[in-house]
Amino acid sequence: MSLILPDGLPAIKRLKEEHIFIENCTQTEDRSTRKLRIALLNIMPIKEITEMDFARVLSYSPLNIELTLMKLRTHTPKHASLEHMERFYTYFDELKDEKFDGFIVTGAPIEHLEFEDVSYWKELSEIFAWADANVKSTLYICWAAQAGLYYHYGVPKHQLPTKKFGIFRQKVMNPTLPLFRGFDDTFNMPHSRHTEVRAEEIRIHSELDIVAESAESGTSIVYAHNGRQIFITGHMEYEPYTLDKEYRRDKDKRDDVDVPQNYYIDDNPANKPNVTWRAHANLLFNNWINYYLL
C-alpha cells in the first residue's frame, strides 16, 4: 500500500529515493480502499527533518496511511518558512472536527521552561484533551511525553545533572502487550533530553504502566488506558545521523558538549554511527498502527 502525504512536501523526493511508495491526496480521492488518518503535531524546530523521520517509520505499514500535518495558532516557528507552514500545515482549530485514527505529538526544545510558562500551553492543553476524547491512540514523544504526563496525571519533570544523550538499552517490562509483538527482551532507543520523569512518581498512578525502562536512561515508555495514550521519552523515529548533527551543531557553539553515548562505532565521533534501533523502531510504529488504530 502507500503513504499519503501533502502534495509537494519536500520529504517526498527523499523518501522516494529510499524506495518508499508515496502518493498525494489528489491521487487517492477516488479510492475505495480504506485509509488510516494520522495527524502529526510537529513542534520540533526543523520541520522538514521531523516530517521525514515520521513519514519514514509510518511507511512500513502495509496499509494506506494519510499523514496530516498540524500546527498551533498560538505559536509561530522560528526555523520554518512561512510558505512551508502555510502550504503543508493546518491549524488545530481547523482540524478538530475531522476524524483521525491516530495522533502524534513531537518533542520541542523548551525543557528549561515550566509547562505553564510555555507560550502555547493553553492551546496544547486543548489539543491533549481533544486527542483523549476523539482519537483512538496518541503517541507523545520526548518533551511531549513529559508534557502529556503532566497535563493528564500531574507527573512532574526534573532537571538532569547532565544531558541524557545517546543510544540506551531498554528492557521490555510487559512483553505480552501488542505494542511489543515481535520484540526482543531488550531494544535500543535514542535519547536527547535535559529533563526526566521518575518511575516512583509514575507508579503512584494506577492508570499508568511503565512498559519499558532502562538502568541508564530511566523510564522510556509509559502506557495508559489500553494504549489510548502512549508516552515515549526518547526518539525511536530518529534517522541514523540525527544525533550526529545535533552533536556537531552544539560542539560548534560551545566546548562542554559530550559525545553521544553508545552511538558512534568505537565511541569515536570520527566514525559513522552504529545504527542499532531502526528495526525495533519500525516494528514499534507498525504495531501501533495494527493494534491500536484499526
Q: Over the stretch 265-285, which tens digit does the pLDDT of each residue have?
A: 999 999 999 999 999 999 999
Q: Is 235 tagged catalytic?
A: yes
Cell of 268: 569515536
Do 277 and 189 contact (CB within 8 A), yes or no?
A: yes
Q: Is the pLDDT of residue 32 over 50?
A: no
- Would you say 43 and 75 are in contact if contact means Cβ atoms under 8 Å apart? yes
Mean pLDDT over the full length of the chain: 93
Q: Which of 126, 211, 136 is nearest to 176 (CA)?
A: 211
Q: Which residue has the cell 511531549?
A: 144
SS3 content of the chain, % helix, strand, coil (to 5): 35, 25, 40
Tell me whether residue 142 is one of the annotated catalytic residues.
yes
Closest alpha carbon to 180 in 168, 171, 190 = 171
Alpha carbon of 97 to those of 41, 92, 135, 247, 290: distances in Å?
16, 9, 11, 41, 24
Domain ranges of the chain: 3-293
Residue 106: Cβ-neighbour burial (10 angstroms; 0-12, 13-18, 19+): buried
Q: Distance (Å, rounded) from C-alpha 188 to C-alpha 150?
A: 25
Residue 58: what are its φ and ψ, rounded to 5°?
-75, -25
Query: Judging by DSSP bridges, how do beta strands 89-91 and 218-224 pair with one another?
Result: unpaired
Confidence of residue 62 (pLDDT cuts 50, 70, 90): confident
What is the chain's Cα-based Rg? 18
Catalytic residue among 66, 142, 152, 280: 142
Residue set of the binding site for substrate: 163, 192, 249
Q: Which residues line the annotated binding site?
A: 163, 192, 249
Q: Name the DSSP letter for residue 116.
A: G
Among 48, 66, 237, 239, the active-site one is: 237
17 vs 272, residue with greater confidence: 272
Q: Are strands 137-141 and 102-105 parallel, antiparallel or unpaired?
A: parallel
- Rounded Cα distance between 40 and 103, Å, is 6
Q: How many CA atoms within 13 Å lie on the side-chain side of 231?
A: 29
**What is the rounded CA–CA span in Å between residue 289 and residue 283?**
10
Catalytic residue among 152, 191, 235, 280: 235
Instruction: Tell me if residue 216 is catalytic.
Output: no
Q: Where are the alpha helices (DSSP H) in 18-166?
A: 47-58, 82-88, 92-95, 121-134, 143-153
d(CA 193, CA 163): 6
Identity of the highest mean pLDDT range in 4-8, 27-31, 82-86, 220-224? 220-224
Distance, CA of 290 to CA of 294 (rounded, Å) = 6
Tens-digit pLDDT profile for residues 144-158:
999 999 999 999 999
- Cα–Cα–Cα angle for 290, 228, 102, rounded to 5 degrees: 55
What is the grid cell recorded at 132? 483523549
247 contacts 269 by C-beta, under 8 angstroms: yes
CATH 3.40.50.880 matches 3-293: yes
Cβ atoms 28, 35 nearer than 8 A: yes
Per-residue model confidence as pLDDT tens digits over 167-216: 999 999 999 999 999 999 999 999 999 999 999 999 999 999 999 999 99
